[in-house]
A and B are shown apart, each in its own frame.
Chain A
Amino acid sequence: MENNFIKALAEIVGAEYTLSDPESLACYGYDSTPELQSRPGVVVLPKSTEEIAGVVALCNGAGVRVTPRGSGTNLSGGSISFDAGVILQTSRMNRILEIDEENLTATVETGVITSALHREVEAKGLFYPPDPGSMNISTMGGNVAENSGGLRGLKYGVTDDYVMGLKTVLANGDILKTGGKVVKDVAGYNLNQLLVSSEGTLGIFSEVTVKLIPKPQTKKTMLVHFPQLEQAALTVSHIIAARIIPATLEFLDRTTIKCVEDYAKVGLPLDVDAVLLIEVDGHPAQVEEDAAGIREICERHHCSFFQTAASPEEALKLATARRVALSALARVRPTTILEDATVPRSCIAPMVKLIQDTAKKYDLLIGTFGHAGDGNLHPTCLTDERNPDEIRRAHQAFGEIFEATIAMGGTITGEHGVGVAKKNYLPKLVGESGLRVMRGIKGAFDPRGILNPGKIF
């Protein structure tokens, strides 16, 4: 990267926040995506919308590429700069600008950490539901750019369902404001929704206004064991068919159960196929009724164990198995590949079965857990990057799993994004015309192709 260009950046964001030493570049060459890395040319940490605009305009003029980055926790390589361009990290923009208790909205800078927003709004009796597993470190900007989901997605939806307004820096440095605090808005194209899940390719968000809802009055947590996978899957479908929408409906498979038990000794039996963690929330009377309905459905499907938490402490204990699932798996082998295959709810049992068969076929250890309620599964391959043969088999296995996902009418990523990791699968999913439209949109927003190039397609 040219010295004069770095100097010009430093004039905008300050020398202290313009990094080009080899150590910094090495540390900004990765995100949470396994195996991928590439050093950027320079890293900047702007403090305001204007500074972002200054950086982007400078890059656009010089034809230098920019990759926005929040905390670098995405799992698809989206925040890596593959052509030695600029990494623009938003973490210093971490102010919660307003919590509007009359309109039930919050406006934040995009470097705000998701759980920091949770804390602030919950202190006021309000609720911002999206809760990705990474919420203690993911930024709101990253959440919007990836349209992140979470454990509460089944009942409350994902980030997209809460984004009301955005302030976005466009490729030429202009600032675009879309949406706002109004609940209804049909003036022109819905640019807000177009920008959500754009993975940094259409613009860089500097502020976001999200919708808040009242905090649910109460909740009930249940833990259920199923000797047979098919029965657990049927239970999930029948709960929804009975018009009960739990806030959380999470699933652990046999391999995950074994790893959790080895690691945390929470008292899970090793001879069951599946464990479900179910949470219902809302008005106390409704919660009671829903919990009773769920119990009846679980028993009808031959669960071997059903426990309802009697206190918040007990609820926390019941949720431990799900909470530590990733830790338990990740400790088994040095390298952990966490995937994100999503199928229609009715296909959960065949999908889990297929993952298990594929693991056997390629002689791999794959544990599956995830959001059973919305069919979003996380098959997690435990491997060792020092063993190239095993890594090759892992890729083959995931190739087959994704093919099957698409064949079942599912998608290659429910929440982790396409980035570069899933790029090759996108044409199969959206087809030629889908790609053409996406390219057209990209061209309209970013004619010189400087914003996070090479991602998505």
Chain B
Amino acid sequence: MDYVKLINCMRCGMCLPHCPTYKETFLETASPRGRVALVRKFQEGELVESEKFLEYVSLCLDCQACASACPCGVNAGELVAEFRCERKNEKGLSMMEDMVLRKLVPHPDRLEAATAPLRLYQKTGMQKVVRSLGLLKMFPEALGRMEGLLPKLPAAPLRQTISEVTPAVGQEKGTAGFFLGCVMSLIFSEASLATVTLLSALGYKVVTPKDQKCCGAPNMLGHDMEGLKDAARFNTDLFESHELDFVVTDCGGCGAELKKYGHHLDGEEGATSFSAKVRDISEVLAGEAGALKELLKPLPLKVTYHDPCHIAHCQGIRSQPRALINLIPGIDFRELPEADACCGSAGTYNIEKPEMSDRVLSRKVLNVQKTGADYLVTSNPGCLLQLKKALSEATPPVRVIHLTELLQMSMDA
């Protein structure tokens, strides 16, 4: 790791009030400033990789709220992730990690096949039986949490059912490449379908290359840099082989990763120009606000918005989703306190660090309840999974939907 990135931290503490784990613990070791110091002192040889050390660095959500707040351009979350990547490179992947990250995630067919039993499990009513009998308690804890998070799955992954080319409605304005995130396709296919419908209704031809692979974010999370680079090369080549005006995604995590392909592949030309073409769906739709407004019908709902870390902190997108919600006639938009604080989902964090994840999530739920909204809108599958579960159990329950689903509801109203 580049040492200068560590000494850039002037220890001003401006990041502390934005860090979810610091807000929960008040511990310097659980703050961005502390994490930079830990990594720095490890590099300087003052600290060793003790069990405590690993525990402290792994408590980071990599939500990057610290980066948004830092005056010096230090990104503590990313530095910690990079540090863990480097250590992993030295040690190699475990057999299980190799299985998941190299043999499963990069192959959409296998991934879909692997989740098929889950679909069956829900369809046959097995899930109800398992849940009502409390069999979940017998599962190892992590598995139990995972099962509990699963919402109702679509009949088939969107990647299998969507056509490769969706024509524009009316006069064609241009061509959008659609990057379909794995989790969006497998679980939130309705939202992604809404994304395609909106783009087409606004006059864009939408190309969804069927061969696309996972963006590589899970590899980054698993600290598998090589796997990430493979994914970046493959997707770059695939999308660059089509004539596209831009590449759009409705998954915050994918968007953040795709925009960094240029960086991951050390500025390779193809990857850099691909990354420059990537847009979050809210960026595209906000640019079409005039035309979109024409399509929207009144929707008298109380709505609030949660900023996914991968949208607000990693991509700097904050005003567009709010502007889009406010385009809907009759909508009652209420700003969420601490809207851009992590919900605790953070990749697989909610499974690996359940206790801290729950503390961060409870704070989010309380804030949502303060708004009195009936709907919480967000735009990242991790947040959708985490918040759907938590807010369906809240009293009164709050519905959680993707931004494009809300816009489609207004279109169809």
Contacts and interface: CB of A to CB of B under 8 A. Distances in A.
A137 interface: yes
Interface in B1-42: 4, 7-8, 10-14, 16-17, 26-29, 34, 37-38, 41
Contacts of B27: 19, 24, 45
B82 to A, nearest CB: 18
B7 A71 contact: no
B319 to A, nearest CB: 12
A24 B14 contact: no
A385 B9 CA distance: 12
B72 A30 contact: no
Interface in A1-56: 19, 21-24, 26-28, 30-34, 45
Interface residues of A, number: 34
A149 interface: no
Nearest to B30: A27
A215 to B, nearest CB: 21
Interface stretch (A245-253, A327-335, A417-425): A327-335
Nearest to A263: B73
Contact of B14 (A26, A113, A134): A134
Contacts of A243: none
Given A32-B12, A45-B26, A386-B7, A27 B72 contact: no
Interface string B347-360: 00000000000000
Nearest to A94: B26
B142 interface: no
Interface in A72-113: 72-73, 89, 91-92, 113
Which of A22, A26, A71, A326 is the most central at the interface, judged by chain B CB atoms within 10 Å of its CB? A26
B13 A71 contact: yes
Interface in B357-413: none
A91 B26 contact: yes
A113 B53 contact: no
A307 interface: no
B7 A134 contact: no
Contacts of A27: 28-29, 34, 37-38
A136 interface: yes
Contacts of B144: none
B12 A134 contact: yes
Nearest to B38: A23
Contacts of B46: 26
B52 interface: yes
Contacts of B4: 334
Interface string B45-82: 01100101100100000000000000111000000000
Contacts of A34: 10-11
Nearest to B31: A27
B26 A92 contact: yes
Contacts of B52: 21-23
A137 B16 contact: yes
A198 interface: no
Nearest to B41: A26
Contacts of B71: 324, 326-327, 330-331
A22 B11 CA distance: 19
A405 interface: no
A84 to B, nearest CB: 15
Which of A28, A30, A334 is the most central at the interface, judged by chain B CB atoms within 10 Å of its CB? A334
A331 B12 contact: no
Given A73-B13, A134-B14, A136-B17, A334 B26 contact: no
Interface string A365-387: 00000000000000000000110
B13 A137 contact: yes
B113 to A, nearest CB: 43
Given A24-B29, A26-B38, A28-B28, A336 B72 contact: yes
Given A22-B47, A72-B28, A73-B12, A334 B7 contact: yes
Contacts of B56: 23
Contact of B37 (A30, A71, A327): A30
B26 A24 contact: no
Interface in A248-276: none
B373 to A, nearest CB: 20
A182 to B, nearest CB: 34
Nearest to A69: B28
Contact of A71 (B8, B16, B29, B38): B16
Nearest to B4: A334
A417 to B, nearest CB: 15
B29 to A, nearest CB: 5
B26 A330 contact: no
Contacts of A335: 7, 10
B61 to A, nearest CB: 18
Contacts of A31: 11
A331 B34 CA distance: 20
A137 B56 CA distance: 21
A417 B6 CA distance: 27
Nearest to A45: B26
B42 to A, nearest CB: 10
Interface string A339-375: 0000000000000000000000000000000000000
A398 to B, nearest CB: 16
A200 to B, nearest CB: 17
A115 to B, nearest CB: 8
Contacts of A30: 11, 37
A133 B219 CA distance: 39
Nearest to B13: A73
A23 B14 CA distance: 21
B360 to A, nearest CB: 18
A28 B4 CA distance: 22
Contact of A385 (B7, B47, B72, B73): B7
Contacts of B72: 327, 330-331, 336
Nearest to B72: A330
A453 B338 CA distance: 39
B10 A23 contact: no
Nearest to B34: A27
A292 B53 CA distance: 60
B29 A23 contact: yes
Which of B13, B16, B41 is the most central at the interface, judged by chain A CB atoms within 10 Å of its CB? B13
Interface of B: 4, 7-8, 10-14, 16-17, 26-29, 34, 37-38, 41, 46-47, 50, 52-53, 56, 71-73
21 contacts: A19-B29, A21-B52, A22-B50, A23-B56, A24-B29, A26-B37, A26-B38, A27-B37, A27-B38, A32-B11, A34-B10, A92-B26, A134-B13, A137-B16, A326-B71, A330-B12, A330-B71, A334-B7, A334-B8, A336-B10, A336-B72
Interface of A: 19, 21-24, 26-28, 30-34, 45, 71-73, 89, 91-92, 113, 134, 136-137, 324, 326-327, 330-331, 334-336, 385-386
Closest 4 CB pairs of A and B: A327-B71, A91-B26, A27-B28, A27-B34
Given A23-B50, A327-B72, 8 more contacts: A23-B52, A23-B53, A27-B29, A34-B11, A72-B13, A326-B12, A330-B12, A331-B71
